[in-house]
Homo-oligomer: A and B are copies of this chain.
Amino acid sequence: MKIALAQQNYHIGHFEDNTRKIIGAIQYAKSRGADLVVFSELSICGYPPRDFLEFNDFIQECYKAIDIIKEHTEDIGVIVGCPQRNPDKEGKDLFNAAWFLYEKQVLGVAHKTLLPTYDVFDEYRYFEPSFNWQVISFKGKKIALTICEDIWNLGDNPLYRICPMDKLMGQQPDLMINISASPFDYDHDVDRLEVIRANVLKYKLPMFYCNAIGSQTEVVFDGGSLVMDAQGHVVKEMKYFEEDFTIVNTDDVEVQKSGPRSPRSNQKLQAVELDKEMRVSKISDPDKIIEYLTAEKNIGEIYQALLLGIRDYFRKMGFSKAILGSSGGIDSAVTLALACEALGKDNVRAILMPSHYSTSHSVTDAEQLSRNLGNPYDIIPIKDIYDSFLSTLKPVFKDLPFSLAEENIQSRTRGNLLMAIANKFGYILLNTSNKSELSTGYGTLYGDMAGGLSVLGDVYKMQVYALAEYINRNGEIIPENIIQKPPSAELRPDQKDSDSLPEYPVLDKVLYQYIERRQGPKEIISMGIDEALVKRILKLVNTSEYKRNQFCPIIRVSCKAFGIGRRVPIVARYLS
């Protein structure tokens, strides 16, 4: 039996587009002689549809799409992801389902059992877990069909009390098919390959694994669908960060013992294994965390994810042009370079907005950067507006000394200018804040924290430097002076980030333990980091929750990004 995997990029709620894509792949699979074509989780509506699932109208649209697609299943089996109504009186109203369509009929429907409800996932908000497991027979093969998380309950500390593949094994399936929407983070490809391998080795069955690709607001799906034989060999690995299509014959999976693997997969698997060792050793050694965070494998993947994240945000929002503030600092430089790569240099407009306190190199460095990239830029000094704020506020501020208020006026004037130009010409403002700043609240609400999409909000400062080096890997794009100079907000004379924040290598190390690894103060101090410093950093994080709450979506590249995946009370008094 020839099984096709269609790794596609869906637009949430855009039924017309998604249906057209799916039918296109069905027809192509037919033309290539496939017996069955497999699509990713909730492919009909796009993943994650979130509270749209609470609208009966939305579910009706899903069902209509199923009806349309069903008409194209003569002579080919089709597995698509689509919510299904729960006919029972009790329990949530929907199942997260994989529909097996064939000969214009529904041959079977598998319901997801394990509903991820952590980090960015909210599935138990919408779905009832499956309590009934049946293999599906098709052309003489018994297929164990599961959905994403269903295969993730192996290991030392399972999140669930049930394992759906164990339930299916009693019916002696011949192969496993899993349809997923498994998101990218720079650790997750490792985990994913390990989990698929653990499944094939445990159940001694081959796995056809179809993942989603494409960025959905903040969550990036990276593809990498694959076919693995029962011995844990990768028979076929599909592209990362791109749509892809493949057909694999089940005969080739079954006879495969130690035969030839795809060279690309070997490479990936080797990288993954190396990376896994490195990860374990480095994360447990606090002195090696920065080395791990900035490792070339991770930075290269983050780079790809950010490009896809930018591109899909603009395309799916119906925009083509970006604007951003170019300060001559490293964060805006890296954001600008990424935006030019993602959208095309002519579609990215940089605005240089020097103030009283800007150093001369700020403008010259930013100009050099745009000359290197070839994107349009303007210089708009903020002095007159700033002065006019000060004179307007004089009756209120009187002779009070210069303070944070005056710093923020400058930053918000820039935010206002950028938004004005964006409104006038139809740009989206790209935000340039990094994760270290966002963590500590080192930014101005409505000022440098403004924007429609945050490119670097899940990238620590030390990783921003590594990205700059990566961008320059084939020649200087980001001027060396931008990389070398000490970071500064330039909102008062001779200001440096280090006046307000610990040095970034120490800061990022502590932040990673607290945010990604959820270590508390005692654990972090026990790693040999100064107690007062740790407490100061955690307090900065916890007292700036109110700022992050108003921040734009962040392209997620780590296992714990700010935004929908991290839900912390604003009004609280804990470590603060």
With a cutoff of 8 Å between Cβ atoms, the chain B residues found around residue A60 in the complex are: 520
CA–CA, A163 and B271, complex, Å: 50
Contacts known (A217-B570, A424-B403); A419 close to B445, Cβ less than 8 A: yes
With a cutoff of 8 Å between Cβ atoms, the chain B residues found around residue A280 in the complex are: none
Copies in the complex: 2
A420 touches B409 (CB 8 A): yes
B13 touches A574 (CB 8 A): yes
With a cutoff of 8 Å between Cβ atoms, the chain B residues found around residue A30 in the complex are: none
CA–CA, A564 and B568, complex, Å: 11
With a cutoff of 8 Å between Cβ atoms, the chain B residues found around residue A450 in the complex are: 445-446
With a cutoff of 8 Å between Cβ atoms, the chain B residues found around residue A388 in the complex are: 384-385, 387-388
A417 touches B446 (CB 8 A): no
* Interface flag for A57 (CB, 8 Å): yes
* Interface flag for A225 (CB, 8 Å): no
The proximity string for A residues 401-426 relative to B, scoring 1 for CB distances below 8 Å and 0 otherwise, is 00111101100110111011101100
A13 touches B573 (CB 8 A): yes
With a cutoff of 8 Å between Cβ atoms, the chain B residues found around residue A85 in the complex are: none
With a cutoff of 8 Å between Cβ atoms, the chain B residues found around residue A122 in the complex are: 117, 122, 125, 567
Contacts known (A12-B573, A57-B521, A117-B117); A446 close to B416, Cβ less than 8 A: yes
Counting chain B CB atoms within 10 Å of each CB, the highest count among A46, A51, A93, A572 belongs to A572
Contacts known (A12-B569, A385-B389, A571-B317); A409 close to B404, Cβ less than 8 A: no
CA–CA, A523 and B55, complex, Å: 11
CA–CA, A444 and B564, complex, Å: 23
B396 touches A572 (CB 8 A): no
With a cutoff of 8 Å between Cβ atoms, the chain B residues found around residue A61 in the complex are: 574
Closest to A121 in B: B125
* Interface flag for A139 (CB, 8 Å): no
Q: What's the least CB distance linking A405 to chain B, in Å? A: 4
Q: Which positions 340-372 of chain A face chain B at CB distance < 8 Å? A: none
Q: Which positions 519-576 of chain A face chain B at CB distance < 8 Å? A: 520-523, 546, 549-553, 564, 566-576
Interface 9-mer from A152-160, A245-253, A462-470, A484-492: A152-160
A568 touches B51 (CB 8 A): yes
* Interface flag for A267 (CB, 8 Å): no
CA–CA, A238 and B449, complex, Å: 45
Q: Which of B11, B312, B416, B550 contacts A550 (CB 8 A)?
A: B550
A574 touches B58 (CB 8 A): yes
With a cutoff of 8 Å between Cβ atoms, the chain B residues found around residue A412 in the complex are: 412, 415-416, 419-420, 446
* Interface flag for A89 (CB, 8 Å): yes
B312 touches A571 (CB 8 A): yes
With a cutoff of 8 Å between Cβ atoms, the chain B residues found around residue A316 in the complex are: 571-573
B518 touches A91 (CB 8 A): no
B571 touches A216 (CB 8 A): yes
With a cutoff of 8 Å between Cβ atoms, the chain B residues found around residue A57 in the complex are: 520-523, 575
The proximity string for A residues 143-181 relative to B, scoring 1 for CB distances below 8 Å and 0 otherwise, is 000000000000011111100000000000000000000
With a cutoff of 8 Å between Cβ atoms, the chain B residues found around residue A546 in the complex are: 317, 452, 552
* Interface flag for A124 (CB, 8 Å): yes
* Interface flag for A56 (CB, 8 Å): yes
Instruction: Contacts A549-B552, A550-B551 known; list 6 others, CB within 8 Å.
Output: A13-B574, A51-B567, A57-B575, A90-B158, A409-B416, A415-B446
- Can you list 15 pairs linking A and B with CB atoms under 8 Å apart? A50-B567, A51-B566, A58-B574, A93-B157, A124-B124, A128-B161, A378-B396, A380-B392, A380-B396, A384-B388, A384-B392, A385-B389, A388-B388, A392-B417, A409-B416
